[in-house]
Structure 1
């Protein structure tokens, strides 16, 4: 048995009062003389024992009456288990209100968000004024971290608005349980329509010491088609060249959608207009092409027309059309012309050549791609500079000179974190396989012939095999030997060939695969940022390597909104941490003072697009805890009833107190009543 107000037990000391009265009877007796007291003495002796019994019973009734009246004020109760509820500790009430886009839906009682506010107020109203409350929304605002009173909670509830942020049910429960409840009883309430995207399909981990109540708001399943995603098929974005993008639309309804208008705008100019039909519950991808772009940042908007849900009808994205790629060719053979012939035919590639004997290391930072071919005596200094260039995001291609000293070339390779040379093979073999899934060859062949003509190799180096997980063979030789491989190093990559560009060693430079191989390597050497980011999900942006003075800062601007990100330097790039500062979809310009560095696109999460909901039975299975209550729209959720998982005894104490007072009165009135 426990007590709600144990301090009142101190008044049990009041039982001393009737005991003292019983022990010290201060009544004065008067002597009465009789002629013969023989019979009177016998009567007095008989009545004295009965009187003593009467006094003891009266004393017991008075003591018990005092005890039970004190216990009634101490509020005793018997706990029945459950969530370990203790009324004496007070309560901490967490209330989560789903303010995602789906809560803007309207039912007979207004919007779901308005109904959620009303249900939250009803819950809070049934708790004690001394209890504390915490409000949580999808925004996870810092001001909602603190505990508030009932009046403050009402003000916070009225300020809630629909938000683009999306959270999962597990994230919400973790957020509620992250607050230290101290000695208070914890009660968690989640008020939502419980979309499938919000609930998920994995088991939910909840705090078994708290009682969790799921308050369901009745929402209707609505048809919806959303602009799901977009990605580029173009190997590089070149001025005036044709651009290819793939768009993906998703039909979330149970009926097919026909003739959905699709429009693509680039820099406020319409590029594509089409109509697409999507089967029920399916996705549709379509390739769109356009051209006529100039160099610089491009702001694109893919839009459809679909009602009644419109928040996912637009998908914003950005990309940069570069005026060219800077390529450096370091050659140890002046007669070698394959690299020059390959890149000089296109003005998009700005090729510079340096002889092996006169390499300017300070110029490396101005290039995206460095090609080494036929180096006679590569130095350790060159290896050190190339390693730093690769780690900072650069791309290097190495074609060895098979007649150079093996030990010296191996030392150079190890300086760039590449495997050393084991030996040289003079067997004539052919390349056995191309990695068609790599970003080098994934879009080169429209149809792969059954017998693909592959390069022949007359001499090649055998490199030491290791267990490096960052190696990927682009072309292989018989015996699973590498001919052309890619290695990751820091933020960049290096391609290593097993043969040279000399015709005596292989026919790779004359083979048709040589052109797309080098071109795709050049295109992929350009570091491109993602087309778009998702609000509430992506809080770390990437940018090219930026250098800031101590007093300089970067700013993200969109109209009147301005965000100052936290800058984190990483090898080859600069990371911008924005936390939850961006809450509206749009285009955000990254500014350094008045200079435009890049443009980022932010979109709402598509997790709210699926307007299907999780049933009560499925919710109960995900939790699997007895401290769970699920209340539908038509049910009454009484927090007072939920928290009373104990039996109050104060009423019984008052009844017993009255009983013993009545027993005392009856003893005094009728017990051992004398008759004369």
Structure 2
């Protein structure tokens, strides 16, 4: 047992007063003379024993009455958990889940409204001098300070549904950061505790003895169909070309959904409407084809009709149609025409020839793909420039000159983090394997025959092996030798071929696989920007490299919205840091002055669509080191006013009751425990 005000215990010295009264009876006796006391002797002895018992009982009742009165002022309490500092300030941390799932309703209205009522009950159960701090999914700056109860209720009225999704570990880390060693902390978590919110891993906390009160809100079960995600089958978007978009819909209910209409609009023009059937708790993918897009940025929207959960019925996305892709062909032999002829068949590719003897290093960054076509003597200066180019996101394809200096080629390749040449082999071989799962060959073949015709080679370089995790073989020679492989370097890619592009060395330039191989390599050089971002999860936007002049800045603009993001440069691309400024779904333009540098789409977090909730037993298991009090709004009739607001049990009221009881016993003893008797004279 502990005392809130132990200084009052000095008043226990007051018990000496009834003791002194008992030891020194100050009542004066009078002498009464009797002629014969023989008949009074027995009565006198009986009266003395009764009076002695009566006086002892009075002494004990008076002592106990004083003791319990003093204890009541000292405020005793039992500690049932972490020991609290009685002189410290009380700090109450309250987390209110204001995610989209809290829009759900039950018999008492929306879950967010019920959460606010619970917060008011919590505030009412504490004293006027106690401090409070509110936390929501928004992690707003105005919630970073401690306030009194009245001000907290004002902040509570401003809380609205937010598109930001937070996990339980994030919330607990945020609460743990508000640690005040001079305060007694009490934590309340008020949420519906979705599985997507709680997760399945135990939550660590710096103070294992701290009590946490969980208030679980329960919503009515509601059907929900969500537009889950979208992606394109083709990596590059060409003007006027056919596009195929895959739309993924998810059913979060226990019953199958039929006839769900999904609509696709591009630039606010409807492109397609499909009706789909979705199994219970399942997904379905639908491919939507459209064409006729011009150059520039395009805004897409996939929508379904679903009620009452509507926030996930719309999915925004953006993409850019490039006018062309530029290819630089650095040739060792000016008469070589295979690369020029290959890309000349498609106006989408713009090929520039540059002789090995006159390479303009300053122009390398202007091209999407650089082909090294049979260089006679590649220099270290070229390797350094190419290394910088690739690390910033460029793509290089190397076709060596088999008659070149092997030592010089080995040094050149080594500086590009490629395998060194081990020797020249002059033997006729067929390519033994092709990796059809690689993105270069994906969707190239509609049907794969059992005996596929692969390129033949007459001469080729052998290479020393590199670490397998940095090398991806697209085609190999027996026994598992490199023929055409991809290597990563920084943000870019390097493709290395074991033979030259000369028809005397192999039939690769004339083989049917050569065209899709080089086309897909060029397509893969495109800077892939995400189709959309998620509010609250993505703070960095990607863009092609942007350079700002003096007194220039970027602006992120939408309807009734404008923000100035921070620009960061990394590996040949620009990263736009927006922090938490975007709070609404939709389309946002990135502008430099009046020029549009990019268009970005934002959507709400789809994790809020899952209506599965964590069971009570599993919820407690998430806090293995804390004392957890769990209150279920749908089952528990007790309100938070009746819950223990801390981990101690106050005893001062009991002490007052016991003090009153012993005073009443004293009165009864004086009134009814009387030793006076009438004596009959004889």
Give the structure-2-normalised TM-score.
0.88
Post-superposition shift, 1:440? 0.3
Change (3 A) 1:653 1:97: closer
Within 5 Å, give how 1:147-546 maps onto structure 2: 147-205=146-204, 208-467=208-467, 469-546=469-546
C-alpha change, 1:289 and 1:667, in structure 2 (3 Å) is closer
> What residue number does 2:610 align with?
610
CA contact (8 A) 1:213 1:628 kept: yes
Moved more, 483-492 or 170-179: 170-179
Would the alpha carbon gap of residues 334 and 647 (structure 1) be closer, same or farther in structure 2, given more than 3 Å must change?
A: closer
Contact conserved, 1:475 with 1:483, CA < 8 A, in 2?
Answer: yes
Q: Hey, what's the Cα distance between the residues in 2 that align with 1:505 and 1:527?
A: 33
Query: 1-side partners of 2:325 and 2:610: how far apart?
Result: 42
User: 1:524-558 deviations in whole A, cap 9, x for unaligned?
Assistant: 11102100011111122111111123532212111
Shift of the alpha carbon at 1:671? 13
Deviation sequence 1:384-430 (CA, Å, 0-9, x none)? 11111111111111111111111111111122222211112222222
Q: Which runs of 5+ in 2 are unaligned?
A: 27-53, 677-682
- Provide the rounded CA distance (Å) in 1 between the counterparts of 2:451 and 2:188: 65
Residue 57 of structure 1 deviates from its aligned partner by 12
Q: CA deviation at 1:375?
A: 0.5
Deviation at 1:512, TM superposition (A): 0.7
**Counterparts of 1:609 and 1:167, CA distance in 2:** 14
Instruction: Summarize the Cα distance change of 1:666–1:267 in structure 2 as closer, same or farther, 3 Å threshold.
Output: closer
Q: What is the alpha-carbon root mean square deviation over aligned residues?
A: 3.6
* Structure 1 stretches lacking a partner, 5+ long: 28-53
Structure 1 Cα separation of the partners of residues 364 and 339 of structure 2: 18
Moved more, 297-306 or 425-434: 425-434
2:134 corresponds in structure 1 to 135
Shift of 1:22: 13
Shift of 1:168: 2.0
State the secondary structure of the residue aligned to 1:522. Answer: helix
Q: Cα offset for 1:209?
A: 2.3
Mapped contact 1:82–1:627 kept (Cα < 8 A): no
Q: How many residues align?
A: 660
1:567 deviates by: 2.0
Q: Deviations along 1:489-527, whole A, 9 cap, x unmatched?
A: 111111111111112221111111111111001011110
CA distance in 1, matches of 2:654, 2:305: 68
What is the match of residue 634 of structure 2? 633
Equivalent in the alignment of 1:36: none
Distance 1:334 1:157, change over 3 A: same
CA deviation after TM superposition for structure 1 residue 241, in Å: 0.9
Pair 199,648 (structure 1): closer, same or farther in 2 beyond 3 Å: closer
The offset of 1:466, in angstroms, is 2.3
Q: Is the 8 A contact 1:215 1:633 kept in 2?
A: no
| 1:585 alignment counterpart | 585
Superposed displacement of residue 17, structure 1:
9.5
CA deviation profile, 1:181-234 (whole Å, cap 9, x unmatched): 424333222222233322334444455322222222221111111111110112
In 1, distance between residues paired with 2:202 and 2:246? 35
Q: Deviations over 1:624-657 (max 9, x none)?
A: 5652323232424555532464454435655676
Q: What are the superposed Cα offsets for residues 295-348 of structure 1, whole Å, 9 maximum, x if unpaired?
A: 000001111112222211111100000000111010001121110100112111
CA distance 1:656–1:598, shift in 2 (3 Å): closer
Deviations along 1:94-119, whole A, 9 cap, x unmatched? 22222222222233322222111111
Distance 2:212 2:2 in 1: 24
Give the equivalent residue in structure 1 for 2:48.
none
Hey, what's the Cα distance between the residues in 1 that align with 2:271 and 2:183?
61
Q: Secondary structure at the match of 2:531?
A: coil
Corresponding residue SS for 1:551: coil
Deviations 1:582-618 (A, max 9, x none): 1100000001122110000001111122223333344
CA distance, structure 1, for counterparts of residue 294 and residue 471 of structure 2: 37
Give the conservation status (yes or no) of the 8 Å contact 2:248–2:285: yes
Write the distance in 2 (CA, Å) between the matches of 1:573 and 1:465.
31
Would the aligned equivalents of 2:211 and 2:647 in 1 still touch at CA under 8 Å?
Answer: no
Residue pair 1:424, 1:461 contacting (<8 A) in 2 also: yes
CA distance in 1: counterparts of 2:489 and 2:505, whole angstroms: 28
- Alpha-carbon contact 2:210-2:627 (below 8 Å) kept: no
Q: Which residue pairs with 1:33 in the alignment?
A: none
Q: Is the 8 A contact 2:430 2:454 kept in 1?
A: yes
Is this contact kept in 1: 2:125–2:645, CA < 8 A?
no
Assess, with a 3 A threshold, how the Cα gap between structure 1 residues 105 and 65 changes in structure 2: closer, same or farther: closer
CA contact (8 A) 1:83 1:627 kept: no
Aligned to 2:272, the other structure's residue is in SS state strand
Comparing 637-646 with 605-614, which one deviates more in the overlay?
637-646
CA contact (8 A) 1:134 1:146 kept: yes
Q: Which residue of 2 aligns with 1:117?
A: 116
Q: CA deviation at 1:355?
A: 0.3
Residues 393, 573 of structure 1: 8 Å contact kept: yes
Q: TM-score, normalised by structure 1?
A: 0.88
State the Cα deviation string for residues 112-164 of structure 1 (Å, max 9, x = none): 22111111111221112222222122212122122221101111111111111
Moved more, 218-227 or 609-618: 609-618
Whether the aligned pair in 2 keeps the contact of 1:235 and 1:520 (CA below 8 Å) is: no
Asked whether the equivalents of residues 392 and 492 of structure 1 are also in contact (C-alpha less than 8 Å), the reply is yes
Aligned in 2, Cα 1:366/1:3: closer, same or farther, shift over 3 Å? same
More moved, 515-524 vs 565-574: 565-574
Contact 2:209-2:627 at 8 Å conserved across structures? no
Query: Aligned in 2, Cα 1:660/1:111: closer, same or farther, shift over 3 Å?
Result: closer
**8 A Cα contact 1:85 1:643, kept in partner:** no
Deviation at 1:358, TM superposition (A): 0.2
* In 1: Cα distance, 2:579 partner to 2:352 partner: 42
Displacement of 1:60 in angstroms is 10
Describe the shift of the 1:97–1:655 C-alpha distance in structure 2 as closer, same or farther (beyond 3 A): closer
